[in-house]
Amino acid sequence: MQIEGRLSYLTIALYAFGGIFVIGVPVLMMLWTDGFAWEPAQPEYEQMIMGVYMTLGVFLILAARDPLAHRSLIWFTVWSSIVHGGIMLVQAIVDDTERMNLIGDVPALFIVAAVLGLLMPRRQATLAEAAAGRT
């Protein structure tokens, strides 16, 4: 896929995930507690997670305007989602009361990482296409 196509899809994904982080995370944590909250109920943890993800969502929306200028934020989102999802995956496997997270927030984080990671142009491809005058 050429860089223009990738950037188009990346822009859409950044707006979508940004919106989901700003609006969807708090809603899912309140409505689908089995899949997006941890037991026993921990309101301090939940408020912290909502605050962090809502802030990240705002910055993903801002990054959608010029994804290449916000590479580090996008790669931070990819890698932090992998790390966060991986830790939660292990915790959900070890702790029976958290198994529903295996169909909730764990795959959601891996989906975010996979989509953004696959759509984010690699530096070499970006520079090569820019040199060829195709950006």
- 91-125 pLDDT, tens digit per residue, is 999 998 889 889 999 999 999 999 999 999 987 65
Q: Choose between 63 and 29: higher pLDDT.
A: 63
CA dist 79 and 113 (Å) reads 7
Write down the pLDDT at residue 2.
83
Q: Choose between 102 and 131: higher pLDDT.
A: 102
CA dist 131 and 96 (Å) reads 54
Per the structure, the complete domain to which residue 118 belongs is given by 3-131
Q: Which pLDDT band holds residue 73 (cuts at 50, 70, 90)? A: very high
pLDDT at residue 135 tops 60 = no
Write down the pLDDT at residue 91.
92
pLDDT at residue 130 tops 70 = no
CA dist 135 and 127 (Å) reads 9
Write down the pLDDT at residue 118.
96
Angle at 19 between CA 13 and CA 21, to 5 degrees: 100
For residue 42, count other CB atoms closer than 10 A to its CB. Answer: 12
Angle at 78 between CA 104 and CA 11, to 5 degrees: 95
CA dist 97 and 99 (Å) reads 6
Encode pLDDT of 48-60 as tens digits.
989 999 999 999 9
Angle at 22 between CA 18 and CA 25, to 5 degrees: 105
| Number of domains the chain contains | 1
